Amino acid sequence: MTLSPIVTRVPDGRVRPRRDPNWMLQQLPVTMTGEDFFVRFVSIFQQVGTTLLEDADTVEHLLDLSVAPPEMVRWLGSWIGLGALDASLPESLQRRIVSSAAQTLAWRGTSHGLRTYLELVTGSAVTIEEGGGIWSAGEAPTDTAWVRLRLESTGMMSEAELVEVVRDEVPAHARSELHVAGRLLWSSADDEKEAGR
């Protein structure tokens, strides 16, 4: 006869005491455990209760991006402004997108934040040219609101998905261009033409 382990390992590596599979049946009065009807009847509730308790046991891990269910990862992404993540993307990419967005949230709208986020999401090196800067009084150029992004690859994202990410991350007032592998993929000027501006 093999004995069940007395502890269960949880996702973060800690251990917790194992719940006996007959935890509810063991709470019945001894006279009832001899009756087949009562044992089968209570076993139904024990099965449902075990499912609920197992869910409660893991509630602390729902916010851990490394082990949270994919639905929860997408929901957490919506809390930090990612909008709807495509459920058809590989699960590892969804986790990386939410994680990297959270890490760069304080830098959002800056070239550092944009570069870091795009490198994490695509796995490609990112070059950013921009018109922003600091100048002495009277020496600032007249046109500073532009950003040009250059990437070698879209990674596991489609081109359309990458364009949506860039639209969300680049400051709205800046004219923007996205080049992938030397080819102009998107320009904010095209969006303005479509909008009839």
The whole-angstrom separation of Cα 177 and Cα 39 is: 69
Q: What is the 3-state secondary structure (H, E, C) of the chain?
A: CCCCCCEEECCCCCEEECCCCCCCHHHCCHHHHCCHHHHHHHHHHHHHHHHHHHHHHCHHHCCCCCCCCHHHHHHHHHHCCCCCCCCCCCHHHHHHHHHHHHHCHHHCCCHHHHHHHHHHHHCCCEEEEECCCCCCCCCCCCCCCEEEEEECCCCCCCHHHHHHHHHHHCCCCCEEEEEECCEEEEEHHHHHHHCCC
Of 22, 157, 171, give the one whose Cα is nearest residue 188.
171
Q: What is the pLDDT of residue 1?
A: 37
What tens digit of pLDDT does each residue of 75-101 get? 998 888 777 778 888 898 889 888 888
Query: What are the backbone dihedrals phi and psi of residue 146, each rounded to the nearest 5 degrees, phi first?
Result: -145, 150
| pLDDT tens, position by position, 8-24 | 555 556 666 777 888 88
pLDDT of amino acid 128: 95
Among all chains, which residue has been given the structure tokens 């592998």?
181
Spans of the chain, pLDDT less than 70 = 1-16, 195-197
Q: Which residue has the tokens 């590989």?
A: 90
Which pLDDT value is given to residue 105?
Answer: 84
Q: For residue 23, what pLDDT is reported?
A: 87
**How far apart are alpha carbons 115 and 178 in whole angstroms?**
12
**Residue 62: CB atoms within 10 Å:** 14
The pTM of the full predicted model, rounded to 2 decimals, is 0.59
